[in-house]
Copies of this chain bind each other. A is one copy, B any other.
Amino acid sequence: MPRVVVDVMPKPEILDPQGKAVLGALPRLGFSGVTEVRQGKRFELQVEGEVTEAVLADVHRMAEMLLSNPVIENFEVRVEETA
Residues in A lying within 8 Å of B, measured CB to CB? 7-9, 19, 22, 25-26, 29, 31, 33-49, 55, 58, 61-62, 65-67
Q: Given A33-B47, A36-B46, A37-B44, output 7 extra A-B contacts at Cβ < 8 Å.
A: A26-B62, A34-B48, A35-B46, A37-B45, A39-B43, A40-B42, A42-B42
Flag if A42 contacts B44 (CB, 8 Å). Answer: no
Out of B29, B33, B35, B38, which one reaches A66, CB within 8 Å? B29
Out of B26, B34, B39, which one reaches A41, CB within 8 Å? B39
The 13 listed contacts between A and B (C-beta, < 8 Å) are A22-B43, A22-B67, A33-B47, A33-B48, A34-B47, A34-B62, A35-B46, A35-B47, A35-B48, A36-B46, A40-B41, A40-B42, A40-B43
